[in-house]
Each structure stands twice: as C-alpha cells, then as structure tokens.
Amino acid sequence: MLLRLAALPGRPCREVSLAGESAAIWPTDAGPMLVRVLMPRPPQRLVLLASTASVVNRTPLDLELRLLEACTPLAEFLSQDSPPRAALALASSAACSVPVVVLEGNSAEFDRQQQHELDRLAALAGAKDRAPGGAAGDGLHLAAGHALFAPLAAVREARSSRFQVRPSLGSTGGVDYGWGSPFGFDSCAGGEGATSFSKPSCCMIDLPPYFLHLTPTQAAAGCSSVVIEPPFWIANACPFPVHCAIGGERWQPQRLGDEADRCDAPALLSVYDGYGGTWEVPPEGCVQIFPLNLDSDGWFYWSAGAGRQRSRPRWHKTDLLQVERRGCRIFWHCCRRAGGIEKDCLPISLAPRKELPAFDVSVDSVLFSIALREEESDKLTSWSLPLPVVAPAGAAVDIPLHLDWNGVPIPLRVRRAHGRRLVVFAPQWFANATGLDLRLLLRPPATQLPVFGSGIAVPVERSVGDDTALCIELRGQAHVDVPIPSLGESTKVALSPLHQCVLRTEAISTSETYGVLTEVVSLVPATMVFSHVADCEVGFRQEGCTDVIWLEPGGSAALYWSRRNCPRKIQVAVRPRCRAGLEEQAAFSAAFEVAERGIGAFPLVLMETHSVRRLVCIHADHCGKLFSLTAQGEEHCHQLANQHPCLVLDACFEGEEFIDSPSHFVAPFGQRVAIGRSGRPPQGQRRGRLLLILGDTLHSAHARRLHVDLGRESVRSVLPTEDFPVHATVRVELLCRVACVTVAPLLLAGPVSELAWGVKVDLQVPFLTLSAVGEQPRAEVVACTLSGAALAVTQSPAGQRESLCELASVQVDARQPKPEVVFASIGPRALRLHIVRDDVACGDTVIRSATLETGYMELNVFEELVRLVKKLIRSMTPRPLGLEMSAAQSRAGVPYNLTCGAQPASQKYILHDVHVARVKVGVWCQVNLALLPDLVGLVMKLSSFSPTLEVDGARMKLAEQHFFRSGAESPFEGSLEGLGSAMWRRYKPCLRDSWRSVVNNSNAVLGGIFGRHAWAPRQRQVDVPRRPVLRVRDGVVQGLGAARARKGDDSPVSGSPGGGAAGAPA
C-alpha cells in the first residue's frame, strides 16, 4: 500500500506492507506520524495513521482532555483558512480515538464490543456539544476504554506539549468538574507517574474531588503514551460477594510501648515484616510498617549494614511498628491494630469477578477492611484489621486477612499489586457437588464452618503437617476426616457404606481471578450415569436390587449404592418414554463392574419391549477416581458397512449364533447397520470376536464364514475358492473405542500378499542439561543434567514393539538460594527400562513385559527445596487452562453430573508381566518439626531436643518386585492411575520397614547419640553441583555450551548463587 498526504502532493509516498502486523514512524513535514497495521480479525487488516503521542483511558469514565502550550486550541485550529493545516487537523481529529481492544489485538473482545461501540458512537454523534474523538470546546473527548492520539500540531515540533484531563459531564451526572494539573508527554517513561485531581464547581463544593492517576509509558520506539487509571481498583476474585470499607483517615493504632536498638547512622535499615516483605528506612527517616508477623518465638528481623539481627518486643500482640531513626539510634514504637474503619465509611458490596474503581480517595494514606455475609444467618462476619491499599516497594504482596465467624477463622488473602489493583481472594474454597445434605466441620471442636454466597465454604488453613484435612459429615452419619489432595489430584471418600464420593482439587483460570492462584476443592459422586439415547428412557440399578434410576434423553444422575450386601455392579435396561411403573417388565443387561478393569465401550442390544430391540452403547470411563457410565445411541455402536455388490452380510457375536438371539444383523449391499452384543452375560468367548458370514447374492449356497476381531485394526483379503468364487476385502477401523467393519470388492486380480515391514530407531544423546530460569530474581533456579541417554525402538512386521531406554547418570542441582545437589545417581547406570508391547494395532495398550532397573541414588531434601518445587510446579501449571469461575461456582449445592459435561474417554492398559529390580536410595534431609502433625512434632521435639529433624543417609530399600506374573496373578487392566495405585499398595509396607534406618541415621531419638547420626554420619558421594551451562547477564539468558560444562565437571564450585559452579564426576 502506498500512502501520500493529500495536502502535500509533492512529497514522496510511504510504502506500507500488509503482510502482517507492523508499526513504523513516517517523518513528514507536518510532523512524525505513526503507521501501524493491525489485524483485529485476521485476515482483515486495519491501517492506523496517527501521531506518535497518545493518551489511553483505562477507566470506566468518559474523560475530557485539553492540550496546552504547543497546541493551538482545536476550535481555532479548525477555523483557519490555510488548506494544509486544516486538512491535517481534520485528518488527525477524525481518526484520533481508537478502542484499546483494537490496539491490543484482542479479537474476541473486539467482536464482543463492536456493536456496543457502534451504538455508543452513534449516540455521541448526535450530541451538539461534542463528537466522538473530536472537539468539545477547547478539549477532546476521550471515551472509556479508548486511546486518543494527539493532533499532529501538538507533536510537530517536539513531544513537549502538556495536557489536562477531567471527567466529562456525562460521567459525573451533569456536575462540572475543573481541569486537573498539567501533565506532559515528555515525562519519564516507566516512572510511577502522578495523581491529578479535579474539584467540583463552587456550587457543588460538598462533593468529593475526582482523582486520576497518569503513568507515562513508551509503547514503541519514537512513540510516547500516557495511561490514565483510577487511583486504585478493588477486585473480588472470591466466588461470593465481599463487603469493603475504604477510608480510615482518622484511624490510629493502639500504642503498646517502645523498644530501642542501635545501628550505623549512614546505613540503610531494612526491616522484614514476616510476610516476605522488606521495608527500608533511610537515615533520620520514619516509616510505619504493618502488618507485622512475629515468628513463633516473638521475634522480628532487621539488618543495617552488618548481618541479619533480630529483636523481640515485650508485647506479643505487636502487629504494627512505627520505626524512627535518630542518628545511630533506632526506636521501635510497638503498636497493635485495634478497632476498625467500617464505622467511619459506608461499606460497599462487591459481587464475584467484579472490580470497583475508586476515584474519590487518594492512595497515600487510605486503608481498607473486608467482611463477608454468612448465608444462613444473613449477618456479617467480623471486619478484618485495617491494611494500607498500596504496598510500598519491597513490602509483601500477598497478605492474610484475619476474619472470623463465631470463633471460626476465615482464611482470606489480599494481593496488593505494585500496580494499582487490590485483589481479594480465597486461596482455596469448598463446593459440595454431591447433591447430599452435608456439613463441613472444624475439629476440634465440631463446629460447622460458615457458608457464603450459594453454599460455598472456605476451609481453614492448616500446616502441611496437619495434612490439610477436611471434616465432612453426612446428615445422620458419623463425620469423616479427609486429607485435601494436592492440585490436580483426587482422593476417595466414604461418607457412609452406601455413599462413595471423590474429593478433588482443581485450579481456577487466572484470567478469571485477576492473576491470583486459587483452587476449588469439590466433593463429587464417585459414580455417575448419563443418557444420550433418543426416544427412550435408560435405567440403571445395582445388581440384585429393585431401585432403578430412569433417565430421560439428555438426563444424568449421581448413582449411590442401594444395599450393602449386593454386588457393586450396575445393570442397564431401556423402556419407551412415559412408561413409568414398568420396572418389572424391563429386561436388564449383564452387570458392569464399577472398577478400572471395566472401562471401555460396550455396544448392547436391549429389548425395549417384547418385540422391539434397541441398540445402546455403554461407555464406561474412569478418570480422577470418578467412574461414569454413558449410554449412547446406535450411531455410537459397532458398525457393519457392506460396499460389495455381490455379497450380503450376516453378522453376530461368537456364542450368539442361535436363531432367536436379538443380536443377529443382516447388511445388504449399500447399507450400514449398527451391531452389538446381547445383554446376556458372555459364555466364555472373547467379547470382541464377531462371526461374519459373507453370502453370495447369485448363488445362495455359496457362503464364507470369517471370525473378525473388533479389538484391533486390520485389513484382510478374501480370495476366491471353488466354494466361494468372490474377491473381497474386510477392513476393521477403530474410532472412539468402537469398530467399523467394511466389506468391499478387491480391486486387484490374482494372488495378493499383505504388505508388512519392520521399524528400527536408535537415538543417543551423550549429554543434555535442562535448566529452569526464574523471573524474579532473573537467575537459574534448578538444573537437571543427563548423560549417556539412549533410546532404541524395534518393531517387527507382526506389530510387536520392543523399546529399550538407558541412562548412564542423572544429577539435579538447585542454584537458589545456594548451589546444592538435590538428586544424583551413583554407579555406571542410573536407569534401564525395557518394554515389550504386543500388537500396536490393538485398541487397548497391551504390555507383554516391562523391566525397570535403577542404580543407587542419593536424595537431599531441605525446606527451601520444598518451597522451590511447589513454586516451580505452580509456575509450570498451565493456569489459563483451569476452570472458569462460573463453572466452579455452579457446582456448589448442585450434583456434579449436572455441571461436569462430557467425561473424557479412558485409555485402557493391559499389563502381563512387570518386573522392578531392587531400589536403593540414600536420603539426607533437614525438616522443620513445625511441618509435621502437631502431636508427632511435639513428640519428635521432646525426643530429639531440636526443632529440626536431621537425617543423614537413611537407606530406603525397596525389595525386588514382580507384578502380574502369568500363572501367579491375573493381568492388570485399567488406566495408568490405577496402575500407580496397585504398585503403591505393594511398596507401602516396604517404605514402613525403613523406619529403623531413619532412626539410626537421624536425631529423632535422644538427638541420635545412640546411632550413627552423632558418631559416624554417612557422607554423600556426590555433593558438588555441576557447572552451570547458562549465564544471565542484564536479564538476558546466554548459553555457555555443553562442552564447557563437561570440561568443568571437576572444577571447584563457588559458594555464591551467582558465581560459577563446578560439577562432580557422575
């Protein structure tokens, strides 16, 4: 595309590429212009021509903007007779206002707001006093969510022009507000900006002023932008409404007393608030620090030039410090946050996923407090202690809010972003999705937790050692204590012998929670049934019971057991719609086992009436300990397609050849019919074997019997013989765990042999290092080094695949907070895995044999590592793929089957022989006893005379194990999750038997004076980290090369995190 200014026809044109999005500066005689190509809805292109100075309105208010100094008032500018200047002014003013969603490339938001924007602009165009993005007296109208580009006359000489801003009349209800203080485009980009306020006119002097915060940014090279925001936002990331109180100008803390210390006068004093924040107090300065969290012994920590020091106030309730420095003296004015601010202001209710801009207060001294409304009593909880809205630099970002309801604590938190948004959230909340009458209790004592919103409870935060357990009580049953599973995991819960449930923890998408990490803990039924069969009802019941759950098309239900003494299996039946009361006439199928070995797709032929049969496919799935049975129509059953003009197909399953069987199917030429097994129990034959009879349409006496395996994909050629002179091809394809059998003519004449070939792959990686780099601080966090990695895969023409994976050595090093070896293998081989898989064309994954061998390994665990691993896992979890807040909210008080949607299909694994060689691991660890359960921690503290449990080289030995051996055990059938559970049950006793080694090599008993811990502690064979292969310089990650890392394996390692590191020999 070629661009040319109409007012300057003699100047050269500007060539713009439309190949993709781009931005460039076009220097013209009228001033620099921004030429930007946008693609809000690809492949549509939008070419934006504007000046290089812009103002972005990120408030929900319409604003007015007035340019000063370098710009002539726009009304006067438009009235001038000079054609070039008038043309430039009209061009710039007509295109100076652009929606921010267009500039940011948010196509979905652009499509959603397009019609709204058109309606709003049309309404503004009819107003006499202003036009959208155009003139309004001496000012420009800047709509909410829009970016306004200044006229070229304002930036023609230099970006030194200044402007003023105020709310428009439409945003203030017709109240005229004055202009704010001037602000320039040439302000330092990246700075904190400034706050401007507009006062109402003299007749409205009692109204509060409007505060606006202006921040300069640099959108691109040569462009400047000023972002206008409210002084701060309050956002609710909780699934229930919160009540906010903002103000506190007259609030004063309760003074408890004073303490004093000394430090170097010119040194910078750093005080640690106990929540991870650091507050800096300059010489002769005074800073108020709150909230303050003392440690378990009542200390807080600080530093000033020398090492880290600590002080302990005499008042254990101190949670606010007023720090004052006078020369080399430090005065700690200890205070307590007492009283609230809710009496001095009007509380505001904020709905879930809503944010409230605050324009009438300044953030310099404003405080806030939070309360919740309990659902059953309709009363407010206690108000949280006051907190400042904006956290100073270095202060903790996430702060706990201390609320309680009748003595029950409510663990909410608030994130005070270093931007201008304050987010209130619950790190974890509970939703009852069972459809049962449950109570969530706090023990001890057995106090019911309060419920907020629509049946949502907030579990009380406990230490890791307390196993974060929930106490759940089903009405009329005894309560049960259930540990809360980790993120993405599930655990089974038996509320009663008949009510089996599953407790699962899932993440909420951070796009729904303003960037904070929240989790929903849901209690859901363990078994659910669904019906997607049209024109009939599907019934489910426990085998041997008369209670039946009948489902309409599209219906679902949670299935709980009816009797304790009946088998835990499910039977299925169908009946015509609107035929209630016919349970005794329904013909139920064979029972389905509610277990992992029973997953798969099972096409059935059920009798809807005595003379009408119905084909139904039952999909049994198991995922996250949830078992679901879904009834699908005949289009989801096995299919038989006849594409051979000379044949008619007759099919039934093996063992059902008798004439009166309902599972007898005929497919003439050109037809495709659904097939399934009868609902009767199989008589020992293979369930996936189909008996297919090919009948010659010209000679009825000519027929060919074939046995077709529906569990694997295959192509079979039928060659003509004297008894059956017809060529044919039988193809079996698997789709969604069901088979499609197609019979077609054979196009090639003469003898045909099936093509088969083998595959062999050999991959070797001598050296490989994987590193994780943190953002703050920008440094390498952890590194994993692999050497001698090899993978060999051989597949025979028959479809048997043999895989061999070997690893010579592996070492994992932590770089932060100091270089430390976390995991290392000892010996010539770290890992050898040999897997033989049968028939890769089979729908189920069949492992004929698997062998796992490992060498001796050393594991070093410390508290910083545990926190680092948790943080790394959370950072690597794809949070935007989490649940939507509305989907998680809808679970509360509603059976899970109504909100979960379609369940994912489960892949079935069949393992015949798994051999795991002897495993030996040496463990070194230092664990704070506060992380253990209260009773265990108390006993260990009394017996070890130390607040820390130290283990030096305890040997964890796992004996050689053989799983699912032929002749001794039945093969395993199920998912990988079930395989892990089966192997854990075998290894759990072996881990319990290692307690003797732990006691002998630790300070658990009398400080370890009777064991090796005190007299001859074991030493690690690998305790020197490998040299880093990455270097971070000025925030840029640079590679040093694997050769250099290998060369420095024996070099000494520096003790500082940022220094060089040397490796130990593998």
Partnered with residue 540 across adjacent β-strands are 549, 572
Using the predicted structure, report yes or no on whether residue 893 has a pLDDT greater than 60.
Answer: yes
Mean pLDDT score, 71-85: 40
Indicate the average pLDDT of the chain: 81
Mean pLDDT score, 932-961: 71
Q: Tell me, what's the pLDDT at 464?
A: 39
- Lowest mean pLDDT across 8-12, 58-62, 550-554: 8-12
Length, in residues, of the chain: 1066
**Residue 830 banded pLDDT, cuts 50, 70, 90:** very high
| DSSP β-ladder status, 845-862 and 914-916 | parallel
Helices (H) and strands (E) in the chain, counts: 12, 75
Tens of pLDDT along 1029-1039? 888 876 677 77
**Which is more confidently placed, 171 or 206?**
171
The stretches of 151-222 forming alpha helices (DSSP H) are 152-155
Using the predicted structure, report yes or no on whether residue 84 has a pLDDT greater than 70.
Answer: no
Using the predicted structure, report yes or no on whether residue 178 has a pLDDT greater than 70.
Answer: yes
Mean pLDDT score, 236-247: 92
**Which is more confidently placed, 86 or 406?**
406
Q: Tell me, what's the pLDDT at 41?
A: 73
Q: Tell me, what's the pLDDT at 301?
A: 92
Cα separation, 886 vs 896, in Å, equals: 14
Maximum average pLDDT range among 377-381, 509-513, 815-819: 377-381
pTM (predicted TM-score): 0.74
Using the predicted structure, report yes or no on whether residue 129 has a pLDDT greater than 50.
Answer: no
Mean pLDDT score, 297-319: 89
Maximum average pLDDT range among 269-273, 339-343, 861-865: 269-273
Nearest to 886 by CA among 563, 535, 456, 465: 456
Q: Tell me, what's the pLDDT at 166?
A: 92
Contact 509, 516 (CB under 8 A): no
In SS3 terms, 587-621 reads as CCCCCEECCHHHCEEEEEEEECCCCCEEEEEEEEE
**Residue 2 banded pLDDT, cuts 50, 70, 90:** confident
Using the predicted structure, report yes or no on whether residue 78 has a pLDDT greater than 70.
Answer: no
Cα separation, 394 vs 390, in Å, equals: 11
Using the predicted structure, report yes or no on whether residue 823 has a pLDDT greater than 80.
Answer: yes
Query: 444 preceded by cis ω (within 30°)?
Result: yes
Nearest to 96 by CA among 65, 70, 119: 65
Residue 750 CB partners (closer than 8 Å, separation 6+): none
- Lowest mean pLDDT across 199-208, 292-301, 474-483, 602-611: 199-208
Calculate ∠ Cα 326-332-338, nearest 5°: 135
Using the predicted structure, report yes or no on whether residue 750 has a pLDDT greater than 80.
Answer: no
Q: What's the DSSP call for residue 969?
A: S
Q: Tell me, what's the pLDDT at 443?
A: 73
Q: Tell me, what's the pLDDT at 393?
A: 65
Q: Tell me, what's the pLDDT at 1065?
A: 31
**Which is more confidently placed, 1007 or 93?**
1007
**Residue 874 banded pLDDT, cuts 50, 70, 90:** low
Cα separation, 830 vs 729, in Å, equals: 50
Q: Tell me, what's the pLDDT at 96?
A: 61
Q: Tell me, what's the pLDDT at 419?
A: 61
Q: Where along the chain do its domains lie? A: 19-172, 252-336, 434-524+877-900, 527-635, 637-744, 759-860+901-1015
Contact 388, 251 (CB under 8 A): no
Q: Tell me, what's the pLDDT at 1064?
A: 34
Nearest to 543 by CA among 582, 496, 588: 588
Other C-beta atoms lying within 10 Å of the C-beta of residue 17: 9
Q: Tell me, what's the pLDDT at 882?
A: 77
C-alpha dist (Å) from residue 194 to 163, 182, 197, 395, 530 = 13, 10, 10, 21, 59
% of the chain residues with pLDDT over 70: 81
Q: Tell me, what's the pLDDT at 154?
A: 66
Using the predicted structure, report yes or no on whether residue 974 has a pLDDT greater than 90.
Answer: no
Nearest to 210 by CA among 176, 187, 185, 247: 176
Nearest to 638 by CA among 649, 626, 646, 623: 649
Q: Tell me, what's the pLDDT at 126?
A: 44
Q: Hey, what are 853's tokens?
A: 């061998």
**Residue 190 banded pLDDT, cuts 50, 70, 90:** low
Mean pLDDT score, 872-881: 60
Q: Which SS3 state, helix, strand or coil, does residue 995 take?
A: helix
Using the predicted structure, report yes or no on whether residue 240 has a pLDDT greater than 70.
Answer: yes
**Residue 581 banded pLDDT, cuts 50, 70, 90:** low
Tens of pLDDT along 711-725? 888 888 888 888 888
